[in-house]
Amino acid sequence: MEKRTRVYAAAIAAGAVTGLRSMAGPAIVSRSLAAGMMGSMQQTRPHWFGTKRTAKTLAALAVGELIADKLPFMPDRTNTGPLIGRFLGGAICGAAICMANEESPWLGILAGGLAATAASFAGHKIREVAAEHGKSDMAVALMEDTVAIAGGLSALATLRA
């Protein structure tokens, strides 16, 4: 697969991960950038996104979200506020991946943001359908955690520099 295609596919995948778990996508992308596993953001304005400090902070926030997601009073991801946050998180991930690999950040913003939005609705619907069929919300949430993390890591692994 051509490198350019892999870059945009990774932007879409990171956006989708962000749609499922709003902090997982940014945490995985930031960690991958900080470790030098998919290009460099050293010469870009948002170079801070690829620093070890940012990666650690986002990882802590992602762990907190994995816990908070299981709480019954958390708002639906498709509510306006959370959905905007997921779109923006996916957009940032897409832009960072594209900038680190010398591709258009604007296409990355679009790819990541739209993928985050679509995955937000898809994840919400899957949990609704699972509940209708008597499946444990906790079991479905844990499966969603696994898909988000494993999917994000494997998608970004294709960009190792």
Each residue's pLDDT tens digit, 28-68: 999 988 888 776 666 666 678 888 999 999 999 999 988 98
Average pLDDT over residues 148-156: 85
**Pair of tokens at residue 59:** 């990882």
Residues 6+ apart with CB under 8 A from 81: 75
The structure tokens 């699972």 sit at: 130
pLDDT of residue 110: 98
- Inter-residue contact 95 to 108 (CB < 8 Å): yes
pTM: 0.88
Evaluate if residue 161 carries a pLDDT over 60: no
| Torsion over CA: 129, 153, 63, 97 (sign) | negative
Residues 6+ apart with CB under 8 A from 119: 15, 16, 17, 18, 19, 20
Least Cα distance to 112 among 99, 94, 97 occurs for 94
pLDDT in tens, 105-137: 999 999 999 999 999 999 999 988 988 888 888
Chain centroid to Cα 121, Å, comes to 14
